[in-house]
Structure 1
Amino acid sequence: MGSVHAADPFGTAELRRRVLAAWTDSPARFREDANAEEDLVRGGYRDRLLVELAQNAADAAARAGEPGRLRLTLTGGVAPELRAANTGAPLDAAGVEGLATLRASGKRDDAGTVGRFGVGFAAVLAVTEDPTLLSTTGAVRFSAARTRAAVAGVPDLAAELAARDGAVPVLRLPEPAAGAPAGGFATEVVLPLRPGTRDDVAAALAALTAELLLALPALRSIEVEADGVGRVLTRDGAPPRVRLGDGEATTTWAVATAAGELPEELVAHRAVEERARRSWTVTWAVPVDDDGRPVPLPDGQVVHAPTPSDEPLSLPLRLIAPFPLGPDRRHVLPGPVTDLLVAEAARCFAALVRELPADPSVLPLLPRPRWAGAPLDAALDRAVVDRLSVTEWLPVAGEEGRRAPIGAVVLDDAPEQRVAALTGVLPGLLPAAWSRRTDAPVLGALGVRRVGVAEAVDAVRGVQRPAAWWARLYAALDGADREELGALPVPLADGRTAHGPAGVLLPDEGLPAARLAPLGLRLADPEAVGTPEARRPLERLGARPATAAAVLADPTVRAVVEGSLEAVEDGGPEPADLADAMLALVAAAGPAADGSTWLAELALPDADGGWAPAGELLLPGSPLADVLEPGALGVLDPAFAAAADVDVLRRIGVLDTFALVTADDPDGLDADAAEEWADAVLDRLPAGAPPPEWPALTAVRDLELVADWPGALRLLAALPAAAWDDVLLDGTAVPGYLRWWLATHPVLDGRRPDRLRAPGPGPLQGLYEPADIAPELLALLRPPATLDDVLADVDGAIDLLRRLGDPSRTVRLGVLATVYARLAEVLDGLEVDPPERVRAAPDRVVDDAVVLDAPWLQPLVRTAVVPGGGRPGSVADLLDLPLASEEVRGTPTGRPGTARRWAELPGAGLAATRLGLDELTGEVVVDERLAVGGTPVPWWPGEPDRVDGTPGALGRALAWRAGRWELRQALAEAFAHPDRVLDLAAEDAIG
C-alpha cells in the first residue's frame, strides 16, 4: 500500500457540506437521492459489476493514452474483498464529484471513453456498503454507516432515516481515505463484500471472458485472481483482426468499427453531460477460424450499449454501440439517436462482411426472414439487409471483384461444374458454394435472384460460344430435370443452332460431320458433343447417336439423294457439295452402306459435263463398259473419279460391274422383265395355292444392254451369292431373277441355257445339246439335267413336246415310256397346239399313231403306238391322237378251252408269293388257239380271262387282274419255271 493522504486533495469536505446542506434544506432531496440509488441497486447491477469496473479501467487508460491493464483480485477470510486495480489516468476531483453526484460524470469531454456518466460505479453497491478508491492522486471512501451517522445528527433528516429503516444514499458523502494503489497501478477500487455476496462475485470472475475486451479497446489485459488461482485475459491487434487470449487459448475475431459524432439537434433534449459527449463508436465482432471464415456466436446474443443490455440480438455477432438507455439501464430508448446508430451499425456491419472471406460461411451471420422480433433487433435486421443489398461484398463466379446482391443471381442447388459452365452467361452469377437451398431465404432477402435451370437455359439461347464451351455446359447440366432442358440450344455442324436437343443427331467419332452440311441434317457440332458426359443429357432429351450408318439410314438423307438430280435441273444447291458429302458419309459407313441401293440416285458429274444418277454412270475403264452396248450408259467424269475412292464410288452405285437391285416384291424390282420372272415363278407353285409371301428379292440391272455375253458372264459369275440365290416361296424353291433371266435368253453362243442340258450322259441325251461352258458357270446357270428340270417350267415343257417330234433327235427308251404322260400332266388345262409328229420309238417319229390304253390290244394295232405312261387319255388329248381301244374292235373267236383254277397251275405258289398273297383265287381259261379276227393274241381279259397258255400270257393276265402290271414278267417267270420254284424264291429273298 502507498502512503496515507492526510489532506483532502479532492475537496470531499466541500462536497459533503453541499450535499448535507441540500438535504437539510430539503429532506425531499435526501429522499430523492436515496430512492435513486436504491433504484440503481435494485436494477440488478451485481451481474454487471465486473463490466463496470473494467469500463472505468478502460476509460482511465483512454484518458492517459496508453494501453490499459486491469487486475481483479478476490480475497477470502472473515472479511472478503474484491479489489480492482487499473492503470491509466488517476482519480481527480472531477471524477470524485462525478462519483458523488448521481446522473453526472466527470467524463464530459473525454473522447474515446466508454463510461456512461458516472452511473456505472453505482454497480458496486450490489456487493458493498463501504467502497474505497485508492489512487496515486489521493484516496476517497464512501460509507453507509458514516453517512447514516451524519444524517442522524440532522433533526429533519432523522425522521426520514427512521422512515427508511436506516437506508441512506451511500455514494453522496465522500470523505478522504488513507492508502494508495500498489504494483504500479494508477487506481484501485476496494470493495469489502457484504455477507452472502462472495460466491456470486467468485462466479462472475470465473465467467469473465476475454470477449469483454472487444468493447474496451483501450484495455489490453485483465488479470483475474481468486483464492490464489489466476488467469490473464488479453487483447492484441486492431481491426479488422483482433486476437483475444484466455490463458494459453487464443481466439481471432473479425472486428469492424465505425465512429462519428451525433448532430447537436439530436441530443438537444438530452442531459447536459450527453449533449457535451456526442461522439460515438460502433463495433461488430465475430470469431474467425484459421482460414478467416467466421464462426457465428451462439443464439441468445444481446446488444452491448456498450455494456450488456436486455435488448435481444438475433444476429450471431457481438454488437457494441452507445445506444441511449432507459432509466433501467437495460433497454434502449427509441428515437432519432437510436435510429442514427442503427443506420451506422448497418454500415459498419457491411464493412465487416466486406473484410470477411467471400465465402458462404458469412451467410449464417446475416439476417434471416422472420415474422416478428424485438423492435431494436428488427430495426437492425432491416437496416443490415438494406445496406448489404447495395454493398459490393458477394463474389462473382469467374471474376476478381465483388458485387452487391442487387443484380446478383444464384443457380438453384447447382454443382460447381454447372456454375463454371454458365460463368459469363448469367451476369452477377455467384459461385456454386452459394447455391444451397438452405441459403435461399437469406440471399433472397438481400435481393439475390435465384434462377433455375430453365432460366439458365433461356439465358444461353443466342449466345456465341466455342463448341468446347457447349460440351462443358451439357456435361454440367447432366442430372437436371428434363422439363427444364427442353429448349437447350445445340450448335450444329453446319453453323446453325437447334433450339432443343430433340431429334438432333450426335455424331460419333469418325463421322465427317463438317462435310455433311449439304444434307440438311440437324447434326450437332462434333466438338460440342465430343464427350460421353456431354452426350448423355442430350440423349436423355431426345437427341440420337449418329454413326455413319445411322445417318445413312436417316430418311432425310435418302430424300435428298433421291431428289438430287431434280435439284440440279431446278438450279438447286451446288450438286458438287452434296456429292462430296455423300462420298464422305459412305466412306465413313463402310460396309454398312452396302445394300442401300437408293444411293445410286445421287447426282454425279458425267464425262459430257452434265449430271446423272450414280447408278447410270460407269467408272472410266471399268470392265462393265467393255461388255455393254456402246453408249448404253454414261461415264463418270474422269477427274471426279480420280479424286474419289473407288470403293466408295462402287458403294454409291457407280458401275464397274453389274448392279444389284433389291425390293420386297417383284413390283419393286427395277430390272428387265421382272414381271415375266414373277409370272414364271408363280407358275411353279401348286395349282390353287394362295398368293405367296415374297421374301426380300434381289435382281441384276442392265442385262438387256449386254453386247458381249462371254465377258458379261464372267462378271456375273463374280457377283455376290445373293444375286444367284433361289427364292423360297411357301416351301418351294424357284430360280432367282438372275438365273431365270439368263436361262431364258440366248447368252451361250446365241442359245438359251434352258434349251441346253448339263454335259455328260443323262436322260436328256439326244433331246438337248450339252452346254459347253466352264464348270463354275455351269453350276450357276444350271442347264436342265433331268426331265424334272425341263418340266418344272411350262415353256420348257412345250419346248420338250416340240423336240419329241423332231426326227433329228433321239430319246432314251426309259424317257419315252413316260415322257408324254409327264407332259400331259404338266400341260393339263393349258391351250397347247398338238405336235405335227409324235415319237413312237427312241429314234423314230411318225405322223400317225395311236395311244395304247389296253395292253392286250397291241397285237391288233396296225399303226405306230405311243406309250400312254399310265395316262393314256391325257396323252391322247395332248397329242390329238386316238386311243387304241377306239381304233380296234373284236372279241376272241372259237370255242373256249378248259377252265382251270389259278391255284392249280404249276408255279402258282411262287406267283402268289410275289403278289403278296397266301394263295391265288379264281379261274383262268387256257385256249391254245386264242385269236381275234384271225389274229392270234396271247391274252384277252374277260370273266374269266382267256390265255394261250404260255407263261407270258399267264403272267400278263394275272398281273392285270391283280392290278400289279409292273409284276407281269416276274409272274411269267414263275409260270415258266415251276421246277425252279425254290431257287427263284431263294433269289427273291436275296433282294
Structure 2
Amino acid sequence: MAQNAADAAAKAGVPGRVRVQLDGRTLSIANTGAPLDVSGVHALTALRASGKAEAATVGRFGVGFTAVLAVSDDIEFRSTTGSLHLSRDRTREALSEGGIATPNAVRPDRPADADPAAPTFQPPALRLAWPVEARPAPGFDTEVVVRLRADVDAEALLTAMHDEAADLLLELPALQVLRIDDAEFTSVVRELGDGLAELGVTGPDDRRRTWWQFRTPRARWLLPLRDGKPHAAPHDVLRAPTRSDEELSLPALLIADIPMQPDRRRLLPGARVAELASGYADFARALPPGERLVLVPAPGFARSEADGLLREALVRELQTHSWLPVVDTSAGRTESGPADAGTLETVDRSGELGQGIDLDRGAAPTAVPTRASVFPYLTPELARLLDDVVGSLVIPELSDRAHTEALAVLDVHRLGLARLAELSGGVDRPPAWWREWYAALEPFVVDPLTAEELGALAVPLADGRLVTGPRTVVLDDLLEVAIPLHWARLVHPEAAHPLLSRLGARSATAEDLLADPALHADLADHPDDPDLVDAVLRLAAHADPDALPPWLGMIELPDATGELLPADELLLPEAPLYALLVEDAPLGTLSEEVVAEYGTQALRAVGVGWDFGIVAESDPTGPDHHLDDEEAWWAGLPEEPSEFVAVRDLDLVDDIAWPDALHQLLSEPRTRRLLADPDGYTAWWLRRHARLDGIPLGHYRHPRDAEFTGLLPEFAVPGLSHADLEVLRTVLANPERITPDLADALLAALADPANSPEPEVVSRAHRHLAAVADRLDLTELVLPERVRALSGATVAASDAMVLDLPWFGLALPPDRLVFGDQETASGLATLLDLPLVSESVTAEVLGAGLRTSWSAAPLGVVLRQLFSLAPQEGELVLHEDLRVRLSGAATGTVSVPWWRTGTETHVRMPAAVDGTSPAAS
C-alpha cells in the first residue's frame, strides 16, 4: 500500500503522505497523489485468482494491492474520482446468483481433520468491484478501508506497520509523511551537492535517523550517519525498492530497480546484478576525503550469490576509478621546499547534517587506488615533503591502522621506510628541505629494525653531492655555513638533524675534519689546489688552533709578491715574530688580500706565522723535520719517540732577542708546554743554542737553586713570573740532569780562578759530575788543566788527588785534594783523570795505643752519641798522641785526631776523658 501511495504521489508530483488508522476492526490507509482512474480499476480487478489466501506481496497498482488479502476479504477503495467495494463474500453471492457453481469437493491435499462443511474453493476477492458513494478522508486523494478478518491481530498488525515505517520512507522517496494512528514519521531530503543528499527520518519520539544518499543510474545508496559521522551499514537485504530476501553485506543500503520474481523476494534468474555497481565510485568521490573508505566492502564471505556478485563488482568499480583522496601539496609550495600552513586538505565537521554540519569535501585530488600508495600513519608534515617523491599518496587521515584493511582491498601499494629511503636518492631539494624530511621521518624510527630500514637514506653534503647512507657521512653541529669538503662526506649544515646520528652518522668537529688522513694525502699531492685550500681555511676558522695537526702548514698561499709558499713559511703582516728574527730569516709575508678574505684566526690555525710555529708528527721515523741540529738531539735519545712535537725556527731568533723570545714562547700554551718537556727537542735546543749575553741557557742556574752558586750565572730575565721560571727549569742547569754540555760548563767553571764557590758548593758539583761519569762520553769532555781543590783554590791537575778516604783529608793539605763524596770518589777520579789518594799515598799509624772496644771505652760511647754512629765493628784504639807516617805521593809524619786502618779505628783521646792515659795503661 505504501508503494502504491508513493507511485500515486510521484505521478501527481506532490509530496506523498500516508495515514494509517485503526478503528475497532477497521483499518484505514489514506494517501495523497493521483486518484483512481479507469486503468487503475482494471489493474485492481485483472489479477489472477488464487485458491488460497494470497501472499502479502507489494508492487505497483494491482500487484501491491493484493497485500490487503493477507488481512481482509472486504475492502473499499475510496478515491476522489470514485470509490469501489471489493468483497469475497459479495463475489461468492454474485457467482451463486449468476448460476456459477462453487464446488466443495474434497481436494487431494485437503487435511484429514479439516471441517467437511468448510468450503474448499475461495472465490477471488479482487475480481469484482461494486461502486460505492464513500469518499476518502479529507485532505487525502485515496483511502483504502480494510475490514480485518477475525483471525487477524489488529494491534500486532499496527505494531508491525510501526516497525516498518522508517524503512518505507527510506525505500520510497516519494513519501514524506507516514502517520500510523498518533505516531508520525517524516522524511526530509537536503541536497548537498555533487549528487550527495542528506536523508533524515524523524519518528514519533523525535529521534532522528540520518543517511547520506547518492543516486546512480541503476541504484540508490544510503550510508547511515551516527553523531554526524558515516558508518558502514549493518548487514541488510536488497531493497527493490522494498525489502527482499536477498541478503547483502555491503557498507551502504542498496535500493535498486532490478527485475524480481513475482513474489518480490528473489531476483529473477539472469538479472544483471553487477551493473548496480556502476557509479559507486562517484558516491565515494562525493564524500569528504577522510570518510570515503567507509564505502569499501570489508573482506568476508558473501551472504548470498547476489551479495558475492555485488561485492566483487563494487571492489572492481572502486579499484578502477579515480576517487581515492591523495595528498595535494602543490598549493603554497615554495622554491625552498616548505608549503604554507593549510596546504593539505582536511575535513571539518561539527554537529549533525541538517543541524549546522559543515560537509567539507575539500579540493584534495583523487587517484585510481591501484595507482596510489599509502605510507602507514602518514603525518601531514611527511605528506607535504613526499610531494613528487612517491606520486599519488593517500592522505594522512586514511593512512592509519583503521584503514589498512580497506586499502588492502583496493590494492593500494603499501610503502615502508626502506622504500622511502630508496626513493630519496632521486630527490633534488635544497638542504633545508632535507632537515624537514629527517624531522618528519624521526617519529617512525622507534627501534633498531626501523633504523635499519633507513640505511639507504640519501644525505646532502656540504659540497653539493647527494650520497646514500647516513653511516657514510660526518656531522659537525657547530658549523653554520656549508663548507665544501672533498676529502670527507660532511653533511650540509642546513640539513643536519639528530636523526642522522641515530642512523649511524659519525659526529666530527672541525678539528677532526682537519686532522683527517685523507686531507693529509690530498695536501701532499695538491697543496696549491684552490678549492682544497679554500675549504681548509674556511673550516679552520671554526677550529681550535691548538688541536690542529701541524702538517696543515703545507698548504700553499701567495706571499706579498704573489709567489706561492707553504703556509708555515709565511708570516702574517705585522706579526710580532718579525721583531725576534735575524734580518735574513727565510720567511715570506702573506698577501694582505688572503688575510682580508679568511681572517688571521684561520690562517694562524694552519701554520701561517704570527708567533713561533710547531712541527708535529705521529710515529716519527727519524730526524727529518728540517730543524736545526735535530740529528744531534735524535742521536742522544735512549729510544725513538712515539710522537714528535717541537717549536720550529728557533735558530732564526736573533741572540739579542732571546729575552723577548722567551716571553713569547711562554705566552702561548702550545709552545709553553713544549718548553716544559725536558726530553723534547725544544727544551734540548734552548739549553744548547739559545744564548743570553753569549751564554747558553743551559749554563744558567735557576734563581731558586743554590747548587751551583759561585760557579754558574743566575738566570735573570725581567718580567717572568714564578710559574714561568718553573717552566724554564727544563732549559736551565739542572743538578739532577747533568748533560755532557753542562758537564763541560761545570768543569770550566770549577777551573776558572775568577769564580769563588764555597767548598760545600764545590763538593756538591763534584758529586753531581761523578754521579753521571759512567753515562758521559769522556773522550768528548774537555778537561781543564786546573781543578778546584777542597780548599776552594784552583790547582794544577798534576798536583791534585781525589779524596776517597776521608781520614786522609786530616793528614794531607786541602790544596791537593779534590773531593765530592766517598761513594762517588772513584767516578770523579775517572772523570777528572786524577788518582785516588788511597792509591797514591801510604799511611802507617805510629804507636800501639790502648786497644779496647766501642762499647767498653767511655770515649766510644761519647763518640757514638756525638756523631750519631751506628754500632761499630772492630777495635777502638786510643792514642794519647795519634801520629801517622805518610809515604808515596806525600811524605812525612803528621799528628791526626782520627784514623782508620782496616777494621781498627784509631782515636786521639785526652786523659781527662776516663782519667787514665793510654801510656799509663
The TM-score bracket by the shorter chain reads 0.7 to 0.9
Deviates most, 307-316 or 794-803: 794-803
Q: Tell me if structure 2 keeps the 8 A contact 1:58–1:219.
A: yes
- SS of the equivalent of 1:828 reads helix
Provide the identity percentage.
36
Paired residue type of 1:55: Q
User: Which residue of 283, 297, 303 maps to 1:352?
Assistant: 283
Matches within 5 A, 1:45-444: 53-76=1-24, 80-102=25-47, 115-116=59-60, 118-150=62-94, 157-160=101-104, 163=107, 165-166=118-119, 167-178=121-132, 179-194=134-149, 195-225=151-181, 229-237=182-190, 240-241=196-197, 242-247=199-204, 248-258=206-216, 282-288=219-225, 294-297=230-233, 299-335=234-270, 338-339=271-272, 342-343=274-275, 345-359=276-290, 361-398=291-328, 400=363, 401-444=365-408
Paired residue type of 1:541: L
Paired residue type of 1:69: R
Alignment correspondent of 1:924 = 877
User: Which residue of 795, 800, 816 maps to 1:865?
Assistant: 816
In structure 1, what is the Cα distance between the partners aligned to 2:441 and 2:730?
Answer: 69
Paired residue type of 1:394: L
Give per-residue Cα distances to partners, 1:236-263, cap 9 Å, x unaligned: 456642443334444443333355xxxx
User: Which residue of 397, 400, 418 maps to 1:454?
Assistant: 418
In structure 2, what is the Cα distance between the partners aligned to 1:900 and 1:550?
Answer: 81
Deviation at 1:201, TM superposition (A): 0.7
Paired residue type of 1:490: V
Deviation at 1:926, TM superposition (A): 4.3
- SS of the equivalent of 2:66 reads helix
Aligned residue pairs total 833
Q: Tell me if structure 1 keeps the 8 A contact 2:853–2:860.
A: no
User: Which residue of 773, 783, 794 maps to 1:844?
Assistant: 794
TM-score, structure 1 normalization: 0.75
- Unaligned segments of structure 2, at least 5 residues: 50-57, 111-117, 331-362, 916-921
Q: Which has the higher helix share?
A: 1
Within the alignment, does 1:611 sit opposite 2:564 as a pair?
yes
Q: Tell me if structure 2 keeps the 8 A contact 1:853–1:885.
A: yes
Q: Tell me if structure 1 keeps the 8 A contact 2:372–2:412.
A: yes
In structure 2, what is the Cα distance between the partners aligned to 1:258 and 1:770?
Answer: 113
Paired residue type of 1:639: E
Counterparts in 2 of 1:865 and 1:809: CA distance versus 1, 3 Å: same
Alignment correspondent of 1:484 = 453
Deviation at 1:330, TM superposition (A): 0.9
- SS of the equivalent of 1:528 reads coil
Alignment correspondent of 2:54 = none
Q: Tell me if structure 1 keeps the 8 A contact 2:378–2:395.
A: no
Counterparts in 2 of 1:922 and 1:183: CA distance versus 1, 3 Å: same
Deviation at 1:168, TM superposition (A): 0.4
Alignment correspondent of 1:266 = none
Counterparts in 2 of 1:765 and 1:348: CA distance versus 1, 3 Å: closer
Alignment correspondent of 2:484 = 517
Deviation at 1:60, TM superposition (A): 2.1
Deviation at 1:744, TM superposition (A): 1.0
Counterparts in 2 of 1:918 and 1:827: CA distance versus 1, 3 Å: closer
Within the alignment, does 1:579 sit opposite 2:533 as a pair?
yes
- SS of the equivalent of 1:254 reads strand
Counterparts in 2 of 1:755 and 1:221: CA distance versus 1, 3 Å: closer
Counterparts in 2 of 1:117 and 1:384: CA distance versus 1, 3 Å: farther
Paired residue type of 1:542: G
Deviates most, 900-909 or 501-510: 900-909
Within the alignment, does 1:914 sit opposite 2:877 as a pair?
no
Matches within 5 A, 1:552-571: 552-565=514-527, 568=528
Give per-residue Cα distances to partners, 1:346-378, cap 9 Å, x unaligned: 22433433332233x232222234344422122
Within the alignment, does 1:702 sit opposite 2:649 as a pair?
yes
Q: Tell me if structure 1 keeps the 8 A contact 2:675–2:682.
A: no
In structure 1, what is the Cα distance between the partners aligned to 2:471 and 2:851?
Answer: 101
Give per-residue Cα distances to partners, 1:856-906, cap 9 Å, x unaligned: 66788699632453155444444444444444457567x857768888988
In structure 1, what is the Cα distance between the partners aligned to 2:242 and 2:754?
Answer: 141
Alignment correspondent of 1:274 = none
- Unaligned segments of structure 1, at least 5 residues: 1-52, 105-113, 260-280, 530-534, 683-690, 940-951, 981-991
Alignment correspondent of 2:612 = 658
Paired residue type of 2:64: G
Give per-residue Cα distances to partners, 1:36-83, cap 9 Å, x unaligned: xxxxxxxxxxxxxxxxx111112222333333221111223xxx1211
Give per-residue Cα distances to partners, 1:379-422, cap 9 Å, x unaligned: 22222233333333232311734343342332233223222221
In structure 1, what is the Cα distance between the partners aligned to 2:127 and 2:764?
Answer: 161
In structure 2, what is the Cα distance between the partners aligned to 1:518 and 1:926?
Answer: 94
User: Which residue of 601, 617, 620 maps to 2:554?
Assistant: 601
Give per-residue Cα distances to partners, 1:153-189, cap 9 Å, x unaligned: 7888443566474240433542315322221322211
In structure 2, what is the Cα distance between the partners aligned to 1:783 and 1:839?
Answer: 27
In structure 1, what is the Cα distance between the partners aligned to 2:174 and 2:459?
Answer: 65
Give per-residue Cα distances to partners, 1:547-590, cap 9 Å, x unaligned: 5445444444444445442xx3xxxx4x2x4333323222223x
Deviates most, 922-931 or 212-221: 922-931
Deviation at 1:472, TM superposition (A): 2.7
- SS of the equivalent of 2:565 reads strand
TM-score, structure 2 normalization: 0.80
Counterparts in 2 of 1:814 and 1:595: CA distance versus 1, 3 Å: same
Counterparts in 2 of 1:500 and 1:629: CA distance versus 1, 3 Å: same
Alignment correspondent of 2:693 = 749
Alignment correspondent of 1:989 = none
Counterparts in 2 of 1:884 and 1:877: CA distance versus 1, 3 Å: same
Q: Tell me if structure 2 keeps the 8 A contact 1:73–1:83.
A: yes
Deviation at 1:923, TM superposition (A): 6.3
Paired residue type of 1:824: A
Give per-residue Cα distances to partners, 1:534-556, cap 9 Å, x unaligned: x1332222234455445444444
Counterparts in 2 of 1:115 and 1:865: CA distance versus 1, 3 Å: same
In structure 1, what is the Cα distance between the partners aligned to 2:605 and 2:501?
Answer: 31
Give per-residue Cα distances to partners, 1:656-711, cap 9 Å, x unaligned: 221133456775784434454466565xxxxxxxx69x6976421111233x1232
In structure 1, what is the Cα distance between the partners aligned to 2:860 and 2:274?
Answer: 144
Paired residue type of 1:843: A
Alignment correspondent of 2:360 = none
- SS of the equivalent of 1:744 reads helix
In structure 2, what is the Cα distance between the partners aligned to 1:118 and 1:257?
Answer: 28
Q: Tell me if structure 2 keeps the 8 A contact 1:666–1:674.
A: no
- SS of the equivalent of 2:646 reads strand
- SS of the equivalent of 1:142 reads strand
Deviates most, 870-879 or 650-659: 870-879
Within the alignment, does 1:542 sit opposite 2:500 as a pair?
no
Query: Aligned Cα RMSD in Å?
Result: 4.0
User: Which residue of 494, 498, 509 maps to 2:467?
Assistant: 498
Paired residue type of 2:503: L
Counterparts in 2 of 1:830 and 1:976: CA distance versus 1, 3 Å: farther
In structure 1, what is the Cα distance between the partners aligned to 2:904 and 2:882?
Answer: 25
Q: Tell me if structure 2 keeps the 8 A contact 1:103–1:118.
A: no
